[in-house]
Structure 1
Amino acid sequence: MKTRLMAAAAPLVLGAGLLGGIPVTAFAKDAATATVATYSGPFAKPSTLDLQAPDFTAYKDTDWQPAIEAGIAAKRQEIRAITLARSAPTFENTIVAIERSGDLLGRVYSVFGQLTSANTNDTLDAVDTAVSPLISALNDDIYLDERLFARVKAVHDSPQGKALTGEDAMLLQTTYDKFVHRGALLSSAQKTELKAMNLEIAKLETAFSQKLTTATAAKAPVFDTAAELAGLSQAEIAAAAALATEKGHPGKFMLALNNTTQQAALSSLTNRTSRKRLWDASVNRTSGGDAYDTTAMVTQIATLRARKAKLVGAPDFATYQMYDRMVKTPGQAMEFMKGFVPALRATQDREAKLLADAAKAEGQSEPLAPWDWAYYAEKVRKARYNLDENQIKPYFEVWRTLEDGVFFAANKTYGLTFKRRADLPVYHPTMRAYEVHEADGTLLGLFYFDPFARSNKRGGAWMNNFVEQSYLHGTKPVITNTLNIAPPAEGQPALASFDDVMTMFHEFGHALHGLFASQKYPSLSGTSTARDFVEFPSQFNENFGTLPVVLNSYAKHYQTGAVIPADLVTKIKAASTFNQGLGLGETLSAAMLDNDWHQLTPEQAAQAPMAFEAKALAASGLATDLIPPRYRTPYFRHIWDNGYAAGYYSYIWTEMLAHDGWDWVEKNGGMTRANGEHIRKTFLGQGHTKDFGEMFRDFTGHDPQVEPMLKARGLK
């Protein structure tokens, strides 16, 4: 996204062949055989629902662990058969066979991973804690098996392997690279050490995620009176009262925390003490020295990752992570990010003075503080652009935005049509499911939408595959988008902020990437791309949300049905480059902090996390005293659990790709079916079948250029 860079990628899901599987040696052969033979639970066979969609009515909390353990055992048997095969290794009997393995585990974990992220409970968390080390060990036993790697290497080095083309060649290369990356070339003693580290990292990452989810719910501040929430709408105050009652504080008011440092209510709360209370709750949620503190975990994870990188011969964990990226080294990533600092810092200083003047004019004698920034930015925005968020929200009812906006744009650009499926089971009653059809009526896939925040849902927004598209397995995509829009109070409409609207378009860009997948192999399908490419389709799709023809379709007042006034749209666009000091600043400082964390030696990583963060932020050149990172170290889920370690820069990198790509669209006729076909043909339907730079050049005709982003951000 442009300003609210949510967790757009899906939670870690073990698709068949994607992570390769489970330890071949951890269970005896007979035990594995017995486990598979006796498993008869709900995942024993693919779902009988359309496109193998998950049947949530058939699952009980007690089903998950037996199913995952059976999936692990089945994967072991399948990998063992490949490893011990007497026939000479070939592309089909080794590389494709590895790709075929793991159906049962993939079926289970694609659903389980979504539930533990979006609708978890104590039982699911306990299962997650129990199985995460088993899965880590499974992957190690596959990728560190000398006999299996010998077969993979034999195919990779053979004349047959070198003669492969297209998707076959890409599968062979990525499989070989993955084995090497995961330590296949290490000695036996080093492999043993690596397995122990991976096991401990897996445990810590799971524990970090669970503790953060719990803390984010537990640290929501409670207010005694509605007067303390002055500035919020009546609907927002009613929602705060309902949340307080739900959490055991009847008669009081509770503001739920978002996963980010900034909280939406900070822009509206007129009571400065209330703003500070909300701010303190946000930034200290997991660093207060209590049971919710994650800083010790962060130290352990960072140290283990640095040790792991050193063991496999990489100078640091960031270099280790970037082996398959579009940007090849952490130095290149940092150089790219530092290029924004001079103009951005000047913008931050200019905006800080503007906001400080506004605070002084209102009678505030204290210096501008971080909890003041959003409040006075909103005041200045209202004054400068005559724009109020409460003017905007009534035009963005959630379901109309989805169906008449997000879906409308996909129809006009790609010819897609959507049909509500109220008969398909969902895991929460506020969700909806849809069939997605091609222009000729062919069923393309299924799409689920889970929009509202819950205390048992992790923060952010993401896309996930319940079923991955693959011609090898004969499957079509079944996809979900998950957001954290503030739920309406009972009897009130579900209204979205403009930021929420952009998140909806963003996540649906990921969904299109998955829906348009047309690959043989699941590990190359759809969104199975590098971290610094996967956010490109999603950020690119945001641009459709503000096209006049699209806005006029969905931006209608929930009471009157009136289309959003043209002058209000003009104000929104005019204000879009205002407050870049915060909008880009918090993301850039978080990305640089991530890069700094993952270039440490093991000795450096062992230092106190908050002390290191303070030094890193001071060296960034940005005004982080007033605009801290979007995620501070103790609640930076992206990098400590969600797979974005040394990869958070990808949001800024792919924003550059998205603006450059949209510049091509505007110069070639805008939102047309012809352009839609070109987009789909060059990158949106390509998965990881080509080099990422090649795909971008196929689309735009040139290498990435930063100027369109600088222009869009008002920095040029």
Structure 2
Amino acid sequence: MTDTANPLLQPSTLPYGIPDYRAIRPEHYIPAFRAAFDEHLHEISRITMVRSMPTFENTIEALERAGETLDRVAHAFYTVSSADATPEIQAVDEQLAPLMAAHNDAVSLNGPLYWRVQQVFDQLDSLDLDPEQRYLVERHHREMTHAGAALDDEAKAHLTLLNQQLSTLSNTFERNLLNDTNDLAVVFDAAEQLDGLSAGELSAAARSAAERGLDGHYLVSLTLFTGHPYLAQLRNRNSRRDIMAASQARGSRDNANDNRPVLREIVRLRAERAALLGYESHAAYITADETAGNPGAVEDMLRALAAPSAVNARAEREALQLLVDRTEPEPFPVEAHDWAFYTEKVREALYDIDTSALRPWFEAERVLQDGVFFAATRLYGVTFTERSDLVSYHPGARVFEVSNADGSPLGLYILDLYTRDSKRGGAWMNPIVSQSRLRGTSPVVVNNLNVPLPGDGEPTLLTLDEVTTLFHEFGHALHGLFATVTYPHFAGTNVFRDFVEFPSQVNEMWILWPEVLDNYARHHETGEALDPAIVERLRATETFDQGHATSEYLAAAWLDQAWHRVGTDADIEDVAAFEAAALADIGLNDPVVPTRYSSTYFAHVFSGGYSAGYYSYIWSEVLDADTVDWFRENGGLTRENGDRFRQRLLGVGGSKDPLEAYHDFRGRVADIAPLLKRRGLEA
């Protein structure tokens, strides 16, 4: 295949450089990657062969200019491999994983390149650089050192082998999870078994079954986390038990999708790599280049929050048990699959709110246009115009052009809302094109969710959790759209892992903001606004069930730390036993409050980018809760506030130390008190 015949190897002629997915076929990817690898290595070679002494321009800036084709190909592919992983794409992914790892090492461990970066770093104080350039030098030096560029050749060869093995294993973990999630989707024979679901949800389950050739049945696909949103509605206890059991079984059965040996090997190799790089554990290696600094700081926070969270969860369980004992003809001990169902009953009794009954007020298109987009327009002045002429990677992915308040073009936003068998679980944001003044590129960002597709003619009615997820992921999208930097290294959400969730969590604040909620929360048939009394009761429930929510999250964050604090001498045979011991150690070993992710389906840490970093959600939430207080104190949803947040935080991308950027925005370091209040942990 010639370069001209491969659409990935030519810059896209479409607006904003969005890839021409109509012309791209699976067989284009590997040849495009190989050509892009060769081009990038040639560019690196030209940098290292320069005879003059290293300067910012001939080394650091040249490094930023290199790899543009590879970035274009990689963004195009990894968007598809996560959102539409057909068997053909999975095969490409498996072949690509070790190749990509080897190439990354060929650059990050390049001795002559590291020498040049070191020379520029050593003369940093004598160079006439602006703040972004200075920070760029510091980050390149730090990241290459952290990656192992200072090791000797023998150690580098061993490190490269470890990285390739880990890349392949992570790919295997994700493939196994996707396959097992599809295999364990729960099939029900009769609608009565799903009593409690809405007509639209039943229609979606019937459609899912029919797509698998199971006409007359109902199929409930599993979500990424433990449990399922339907558990709050299903009246049939056996149905709830079946869904929970299927969810918790993923990746832990003796079959081809068994992730237990995969994750054990990942843990072992990560520990070996950390030791090679001079760290006592993978957690120490990861946190050394995050705002946390070390695993001890993470442990201190998790332990401080775990004890009061567990106490609150026990009190919540006692309330659920009292309700069961009082209302059920044949009372039973509350189990994990009962929690959500009876929690909704308690919520309704205490606050007169049935959250499942709110769905008619959360029609997806209205939430998007009159909620998510509306808040962004009021706060930042940006507007959104759907571009039906632009085709994305899947027919279900919609493209919107984003413009600034003055009408100038900003970028493209793509929303891929619905679940499908070829999409990995969960929700996320990723760039297809990253903004950079150096390269002259504007941002193209994607949000993926996994909302069940309703039957023909049925509206898409979201749960409150799904509304929250949409606002959350759009916060990441805004970060990707607003970051305005010169160098691609700092584009979009390229910030420390334990800071990246901060902007997305802040964006959740607008869900119940009066003028935003009143604009989107309208009954999809009558247009009736959500009753203000219900809204007040919703706000009153903000700390309700937070013992459970915080405990299940902290349990997962601690599991991540536990796996990645082990040394090279660890010999872990029994995954379940390791989990149980770790959760007991932090006091979160309550089977009625299971961890949000068990190890065998913990994609964030075994096939995603959150290894030893899942703590980052609560770490970022300290900043988030403090920021929400700032908005409330300063008038809320105003352009002045939005412009300040955009310019001082979102707009800097990764071009500034994130805690410095936060201090610049807030005028001080973050206070943890607002987080404790939000989570009901003040006592």
**TM-score range normalised by the length of the shorter chain:** over 0.9
Query: In the aligned structure 1, how far is the partner of 2:146 from the partner of 2:119?
Result: 17
Structure 2: runs of 5+ lacking an equivalent: none
Match for residue 317 of structure 1 among 282, 306, 310? 282
Match for residue 207 of structure 2 among 222, 230, 242? 242
Paired position in structure 2 for 1:433: 399
Q: Which AA in structure 2 matches 1:310?
A: A
Matches within 5 A, 1:490-501: 490-501=456-467
Query: In the aligned structure 1, how far is the partner of 2:607 from the partner of 2:226?
Result: 17
Match for residue 156 of structure 2 among 166, 171, 191? 191
1:686 Cα deviation from its structure 2 partner: 0.9
Q: Which AA in structure 2 matches 1:382?
A: E
Matches within 5 A, 1:431-470: 431-470=397-436
Query: In the aligned structure 1, how far is the partner of 2:336 from the partner of 2:452?
Result: 23
Match for residue 360 of structure 2 among 394, 403, 417? 394
**2:190–2:218 Cα contact (<8 Å) kept:** yes
Match for residue 103 of structure 1 among 53, 68, 72? 68
Paired position in structure 1 for 2:331: 365
**1:261–1:630 Cα contact (<8 Å) kept:** yes
1:608 Cα deviation from its structure 2 partner: 2.4
**2:200–2:454 Cα contact (<8 Å) kept:** yes
Query: In the aligned structure 2, how far is the partner of 1:38 from the partner of 1:414?
Result: 42
Query: For 1:584, what is the secondary structure of its paired residue?
Result: helix
User: Cα deviations across residues 110-153 of structure 1 (Å, max 9, x unaligned)?
Assistant: 11101110111011000011011011001111122211211111
Match for residue 684 of structure 1 among 634, 644, 650? 650
- TM-score (norm. length: structure 2): 0.97
Q: Tell whether 2:305 aligns with 1:340.
A: yes
Paired position in structure 1 for 2:611: 645
Tell which deviates more after alignment, 267-276 or 121-130.
267-276
The size of the alignment, in residue pairs, is 681
1:581 Cα deviation from its structure 2 partner: 2.2
**1:524–1:688 Cα contact (<8 Å) kept:** yes
Q: Tell whether 2:524 aligns with 1:558.
A: yes
Query: In the aligned structure 2, how far is the partner of 1:188 from the partner of 1:109?
Result: 28
1:327 Cα deviation from its structure 2 partner: 0.9
Paired position in structure 1 for 2:257: 292
**2:401–2:411 Cα contact (<8 Å) kept:** yes
Query: In the aligned structure 2, how far is the partner of 1:553 from the partner of 1:703?
Result: 34
Query: In the aligned structure 2, how far is the partner of 1:390 from the partner of 1:65?
Result: 46
Q: Tell whether 2:638 aligns with 1:672.
A: yes
Tell which deviates more after alignment, 656-665 or 157-166.
157-166
1:280 Cα deviation from its structure 2 partner: 0.7
Q: Tell whether 2:675 aligns with 1:709.
A: yes
Q: Tell whether 2:47 aligns with 1:69.
A: no
Query: In the aligned structure 2, how far is the partner of 1:426 from the partner of 1:417?
Result: 20
Query: In the aligned structure 2, how far is the partner of 1:179 from the partner of 1:714?
Result: 42
Residues 177 and 605 of structure 1, relative CA distance in 2, 3 Å threshold: farther
Tell which deviates more after alignment, 360-369 or 184-193.
360-369
- Indicate the percent of aligned positions where both proteins have the same amino acid: 41
Query: In the aligned structure 2, how far is the partner of 1:229 from the partner of 1:44?
Result: 50
Paired position in structure 1 for 2:185: 220
1:363 Cα deviation from its structure 2 partner: 2.9
Match for residue 570 of structure 2 among 587, 600, 604? 604
**2:572–2:578 Cα contact (<8 Å) kept:** no
- TM-score (norm. length: structure 1): 0.93
Q: Tell whether 2:497 aligns with 1:515.
A: no
Q: Tell whether 2:377 aligns with 1:411.
A: yes
Match for residue 599 of structure 2 among 633, 636, 640? 633
Match for residue 538 of structure 1 among 504, 518, 521? 504
Query: For 2:447, what is the secondary structure of its paired residue?
Result: strand
RMSD across aligned positions (CA): 1.5
Q: Tell whether 2:229 aligns with 1:264.
A: yes
1:323 Cα deviation from its structure 2 partner: 2.5
1:51 Cα deviation from its structure 2 partner: 1.0
Query: In the aligned structure 2, how far is the partner of 1:433 from the partner of 1:39?
Result: 27
Match for residue 296 of structure 2 among 331, 336, 354? 331
Match for residue 87 of structure 2 among 103, 122, 131? 122
Structure 1 stretches of at least 4 aligned residues deviating more than 6 Å after TM superposition: none
Residues 159 and 114 of structure 1, relative CA distance in 2, 3 Å threshold: closer
Paired position in structure 1 for 2:17: 52
Query: In the aligned structure 2, how far is the partner of 1:604 from the partner of 1:57?
Result: 49
Q: Between the two structures, name the one with larger relative contact order (CA 8 Å, sep ≥ 6).
A: 1
Query: For 1:656, what is the secondary structure of its paired residue?
Result: helix
Paired position in structure 2 for 1:17: none
Query: For 1:602, what is the secondary structure of its paired residue?
Result: coil
Match for residue 145 of structure 1 among 110, 117, 122? 110
**1:161–1:172 Cα contact (<8 Å) kept:** no
Match for residue 113 of structure 1 among 60, 78, 94? 78
Paired position in structure 2 for 1:587: 553
Q: Which AA in structure 2 matches 1:65?
A: I
1:429 Cα deviation from its structure 2 partner: 2.4
User: Cα deviations across residues 504-537 of structure 1 (Å, max 9, x unaligned)?
Assistant: 1111111111111110001112210001111100
1:250 Cα deviation from its structure 2 partner: 2.0
**2:4–2:10 Cα contact (<8 Å) kept:** no
Paired position in structure 2 for 1:23: none
Q: Tell whether 2:419 aligns with 1:481.
A: no
User: Cα deviations across residues 469-495 of structure 1 (Å, max 9, x unaligned)?
Assistant: 000001111111111112212210011
User: Cα deviations across residues 204-240 of structure 1 (Å, max 9, x unaligned)?
Assistant: 0011111111111111111222221122222222221
Q: Tell whether 2:343 aligns with 1:377.
A: yes
Query: In the aligned structure 1, how far is the partner of 2:592 from the partner of 2:257?
Result: 25
Q: Which AA in structure 2 matches 1:405?
A: G
Paired position in structure 2 for 1:4: none
